Structure 1
Amino acid sequence: MANPSYLSTCCCVKDDLEGDCDALEQRVLLESPVDITCLVTSVVSVVGVIYLLLPRPDSDLRNTLSTSQTRILAGRAVREIIHILILCDVLAVLGVITRSVVKLSVSDSINIGFCNFINIWIQFFYLCGYFWNIVYGVELLFSVKSADHSYMKYVVGFLPPVLLIVLQILMVYASSSQWCLEEGLDKLFVYLSMILPVIFVLIITPIIFYTILKSVRKSMIGSLGRFGTMEREVLNAARFKFTSIVIIFIFCWLPNLIFAVLQLFEERNMMYDVFLAVATIQAITNPLQAILNCMVYRGWPGALTMCSNQSEVTSLTPSMSRSDLDGSIEVQINSLSSRLQRSTETDPILNFRNQRQSYTS
């Protein structure tokens, strides 16, 4: 899990110095149950991601998406962002697994350099995950608005995490010549460098997704000339996906915010059980982000058949691979114009084309 207090535990477990481990959060994070929970959930998360990414029987099909004018939430750039986001999550979880295994096997002899490195590794890739969530939303927004978007997404996705990690390293060094993060302003800055990005994502992503949904609606009306039952289904599917992304992020990182707030209480030394409970919850929710993000961004294999007729989807999207078909939102949007040609709907909410035709006849 990504808890900045882990940097202060390095002094407690290194070889050559006796660290002061009296701080409550240090004692909690050194508990074996926390490491065991981290290890179990991390392994489950990585195995789940591997399963979701395994090639499917139809993986030999071309991994392309329709280039029709109705393409709204699909494209190579979006898939690339999803892959980077999942990769960052997996690399962070692999760091959690390494840290947990080492701590459980050699609890009192971890080298301070390794301790700092592995914790910085974990926090860096989780920070990358935060910002690539934002990049995903911004990329979709640019796609919907047909705006030009360049490689700036890599700058937005990686530069802020690099700067924040450099700040953390400087604060750890400034806190102690022995590279031990101690109480004070240095520890506060390290905490803020992890907590503020979480709050920023929680605020900005719902705004971006709401703007995308409004733009999708306008795009449908503008390009299709109508907004009826099928269009509402597509919009509802997009809304469900975006809501799931936000809920998963809250589920995974709300315990970290609670842990940070608890440290503000002066009576925190009397709250050992509360700290241990929250830390254990973090050990569950943080590593699970990898598999949960993979599920919500790529979809669960076979889920497509539950939301639409397989033969219809296959005939509408013959050039799409299973990785694309699993994203049912993209499929519905890409095939929408084809379905409209044979639609029998008689009561669309908006049908400007029919109105224009009636005026000209």
Structure 2
Amino acid sequence: MASPRMETFCCPNRDSTTAFVLGFQPRVFSALCACSAAVSLALAVLQVLPKRRGSRRLGQYPVPKPASSSRILFIISVCDVLGCAGIIMRSSVWLGVPDLISAISVPENPDVWPEVFCVGSAMWIQLFYSASFWWTFCYAIDVYLVVKRSAGISTIVLYHMITWGLAAMLCAEGVAMLYYPSISSCQNGLLHAVPHYITTYAPMLLVLLVNPVLFSRTVAAVTSLLKGRQGIYTENERRLGSEIKMRFFKIMLVFSVCWLPNLVNESLLFYLEMQADLTASNLKNVRNAALITWFIMGILNPMQGFLNTLAFHGWTGFDVDFSVRQRREVVWDSASTSGTAAGVYSSVLGSTVLYQGHVQEVKNSASNGQQHPETIGILSEGSESSTIEIPISSERRGTEEAEADEESLESPAKQ
């Protein structure tokens, strides 16, 4: 699981509430965390592997470089998988080498390896889950900006700088404040740990509070684009808008289910910490609630990896394609002032919501002289034929330019 209580546990003079929750059935709790993380890791990797059923459709058209939104979804899955790997490693050591963990509680212990492992594994887990929070926030920003025609593939570099920079900086700052002046002699009391808890929960609260607002604005912007072409809102467009709302709802539902227990548990533990006697009989219900939410966290925190892939792509199946295929890339016209680019996006990650601004249709028109509108490619969840294109009121000049080139080639021959 991912909780700042794990870093607090590495201090020999840890607070009483941290000792209370981590001292209750530690082996059962470690086994529960390891099993949940292993299942989530295996299923998440299975989800993102390319599937054979999609390869035939991919081969019909040239596949462009993935949109920034597609890359962000893949990076979120990678962060979740690495976080699960850290939980598996830590829980396995706690189960297999219990003496190593008990040595952390010994003050002035000359052996530093128990504390090094405790701090290292806790920082690994916090770093990647914190990065996952920041990438989820950037995803909400990206889909909104792309629909607003204000972002593109180049913004992925900026997202990398923001997410990894903030995740590393906040993780290092929080841990430095927690273990001051040293790991073996952390400050007593709760106040010195407050900066660490803030740096851990700040990105989580940012996603919970800001992402729904950005997603709702994105849906409103897509609705405006759907209505903008002919000024009408048909049943198909209404259905498409509902699918987009449902996708965003699934993403926020998974995030809320996996991480709201952390906020509830932390509130209960802080309440217990402020009491004079933690073992008082009138606090029995609060202690039980804290232990219940603590075990729920051990199950749901690691499961975010798999549940996120379901929210992003739907169930992609077991038919994994391990063959390596050479796929052609569409040449992007970076000098085009109209902002049109090629591609109907069909990512190897499966089905996901992709908003790629200024995308043209790849298929040729059946009738001569027919002009293709610019589109926003949206892959909704479900089958292989779930690619839906939203036409926007602007015309493609590619057909006209091709006809002009043909006329210029024919004119010398006639002369």
Letter of the 2:206 counterpart: F
SS at match of 1:334: strand
Alpha-carbon distance, 1:63 to partner: 10
* d(CA) in 2 for partners of 1:46, 1:204: 28
* d(CA) in 1 for partners of 2:197, 2:60: 42
Structure 1 match to 2:334: none
Match of 1:334 among 377, 385, 388: 388
Contact 1:258 1:278 in 2 (8 A): yes
Q: Does 2:248 align with 1:248?
A: no
Deviations 1:119-178 (A, max 9, x none): 011011111111111111111111101113522211222222112111122113315452
Letter of the 1:288 counterpart: M
In the superposition, relative to structure 1, how do residues 97 and 226 fare at CA in structure 2: closer, same or farther (>3 Å)?
same
In the superposition, relative to structure 1, how do residues 280 and 135 fare at CA in structure 2: closer, same or farther (>3 Å)?
same
Contact 2:171 2:200 in 1 (8 A): no
Structure 2 match to 1:82: 73
Larger helix fraction of residues: 1
Deviations 1:204-242 (A, max 9, x none): 000000000010011112246532100011110000011
Q: Does 2:145 align with 1:94?
A: no
Aligned positions, number? 312
In the superposition, relative to structure 1, how do residues 63 and 78 fare at CA in structure 2: closer, same or farther (>3 Å)?
farther
Structure 1 match to 2:140: 137
SS at match of 1:78: helix
Structure 2 match to 1:298: 313
Match of 2:49 among 49, 54, 58: 54
SS at match of 2:184: coil
Contact 1:130 1:197 in 2 (8 A): yes
TM-score, normalization: structure 2? Answer: 0.68
Contact 2:15 2:190 in 1 (8 A): no
Structure 1 match to 2:105: none
Q: Does 2:151 align with 1:148?
A: yes
Deviations 1:250-273 (A, max 9, x none): 101111101111123226444443
Alpha-carbon distance, 1:181 to partner: 6.9
Deviations 1:89-117 (A, max 9, x none): 11111100111000011112141011101
Alpha-carbon distance, 1:55 to partner: 2.6
In the superposition, relative to structure 1, how do residues 174 and 20 fare at CA in structure 2: closer, same or farther (>3 Å)?
closer
When the two chains are superposed, the root-mean-square deviation of aligned CA atoms in Å is: 2.9
In the superposition, relative to structure 1, how do residues 215 and 184 fare at CA in structure 2: closer, same or farther (>3 Å)?
same
* d(CA) in 2 for partners of 1:185, 1:211: 39
Alpha-carbon distance, 1:195 to partner: 1.9
Contact 1:64 1:319 in 2 (8 A): no
* d(CA) in 2 for partners of 1:221, 1:332: 21
Q: Does 2:128 align with 1:125?
A: yes
Alpha-carbon distance, 1:25 to partner: 2.3
Q: Percent identity?
A: 26
* d(CA) in 2 for partners of 1:106, 1:44: 22
Match of 1:202 among 181, 205, 208: 208
In the superposition, relative to structure 1, how do residues 167 and 329 fare at CA in structure 2: closer, same or farther (>3 Å)?
same
Contact 2:49 2:349 in 1 (8 A): no
* d(CA) in 2 for partners of 1:224, 1:153: 35
Letter of the 2:50 counterpart: P
Deviations 1:36-68 (A, max 9, x none): 11011111101111221233113543598999x
SS at match of 1:55: coil
SS at match of 1:281: helix
In the superposition, relative to structure 1, how do residues 21 and 137 fare at CA in structure 2: closer, same or farther (>3 Å)?
closer
Contact 1:2 1:122 in 2 (8 A): yes
Alpha-carbon distance, 1:34 to partner: 1.4
Structure 2 match to 1:5: 5
* d(CA) in 1 for partners of 2:187, 2:252: 32
Structure 2 match to 1:159: 165
Letter of the 1:141 counterpart: Y
* d(CA) in 1 for partners of 2:177, 2:62: 46
SS at match of 2:311: helix
Letter of the 2:297 counterpart: Q
In the superposition, relative to structure 1, how do residues 141 and 232 fare at CA in structure 2: closer, same or farther (>3 Å)?
same
Contact 2:33 2:88 in 1 (8 A): yes
Structure 1: give runs of 5+ residues left out of the alignment.
12-18, 68-73, 303-316, 339-361
In the superposition, relative to structure 1, how do residues 224 and 147 fare at CA in structure 2: closer, same or farther (>3 Å)?
farther
Contact 1:7 1:181 in 2 (8 A): no
Contact 2:226 2:390 in 1 (8 A): no
Deviations 1:173-200 (A, max 9, x none): 3154526475332211111111222222
